[in-house]
Amino acid sequence: MWLRPTQDMALPTFFIIGAPKAGTTSLHYYLDQHPQIQMSANKEPRFFAGPENGVPYAPGRIDRLVEYEQLFDPNVGARGEASTDYATYPRREGVPERIKALVPEARFLYLVRDPIPRTISHYQMRVAFLGERRSLQEALSDFSDPSSPYIWPSLYASQLERYLRHFPGERILVIDQAELLAERRSTLRKIFAFLSVDDTVVSSRFDEVLSRSREWRAYSPSYVRIVEHALAPTLRWIPRGIRRSLRRSAERVLWPPLETPTLDDGMHARLSELYAGEAERLRGLTGKAFPTWTL
């Protein structure tokens, strides 16, 4: 895997590093509409995320450099991918170091979101797509579990500090999901400028919203594997909107809607205490106020 890069290798020039359920799928899609940007067709190759270490990867992870290279077009100046595993330390360790070794001049887009809603949305996503069947309170019960997929991605300051040990701050742009939702065009202009591409590009596709948790259902893992990893690659010739409409129509028949979980008062207080200090450190690191956050 860790061959030394050669001059003709096509590697990404920037990374969307997280956080899960903060808009990374939408941002990946928006950036791919820009004529000077190429995003990997495999949205989350997870190449730099390292060994499994007891936490298996979902199907589709790329761990060979020659296959990873094939995701990127060397003729496009700005090339990117979006692997949310890249900011989940200690669940996945050593990511900034691996990126530094192969892409020392990399830039990073770090999407963040109000920590408690992000955590709940992450739980909902895993219920819908990854077979999570514990209650929300049970899934969040151990704050110290290094393999927990829910807690660590919301510790934004800690994740960011790990990148700042290896990359200068001017190469990391932190974006609040609330900005991307409420001020999409201006936020994208800022991102385009950060990536040194034409920041005047506009597209009607920037107005699309790709994922709505209220439409999720508790799908069976086998269904997800078939749709995401078998059918989806073969049906790319069908327009995205039509594919999405057909899939949703079938899912409404097969599964009831997924109920929105709620935190009990005790767990909400515990999470608030855990995340409050991180949120304040993130404000200090970025100079951003995150005015819509509850912490």
pLDDT in tens, the chain (295 residues): 444 555 566 899 999 998 999 999 999 999 999 999 999 999 999 999 999 988 999 888 999 999 999 999 999 999 999 999 999 999 999 999 999 999 999 999 999 999 999 999 999 989 888 888 899 999 999 999 988 999 999 999 999 999 999 999 999 999 999 999 999 999 999 999 999 999 999 999 999 877 665 567 666 666 655 666 655 566 666 676 676 676 666 666 566 777 788 899 999 999 999 999 999 999 999 999 999 999 9
Residue 217 and residue 240 in contact, taking contact as beta carbons nearer than 8 Å: no
Q: What is the pTM of this model?
A: 0.86
The pLDDT, as a whole number, for residue 231 is 58
Q: What is the CB neighbour count within 10 angstroms for residue 252?
A: 12
Class (C level, CATH) for 14-208+265-286: alpha beta
The pLDDT, as a whole number, for residue 254 is 65
Measured CA distances, 21 to 154, 181, 186, 271 (Å): 10, 13, 21, 17
Q: Which amino acid is at 110?
A: Y
DSSP 217: B
The pLDDT, as a whole number, for residue 249 is 66
Helix axes 156-164, 95-102, angle to 10 degrees: 30
Q: Which amino acid is at 213?
A: S
The pLDDT, as a whole number, for residue 128 is 85
DSSP 228: I
The pLDDT, as a whole number, for residue 1 is 47
Question: What's the number of CA atoms in the CB half-sphere (13 Å) around residue 213?
Answer: 17
User: Rounded to the nearest 5°, which phi and psi values hold at 33?
Assistant: -80, -15
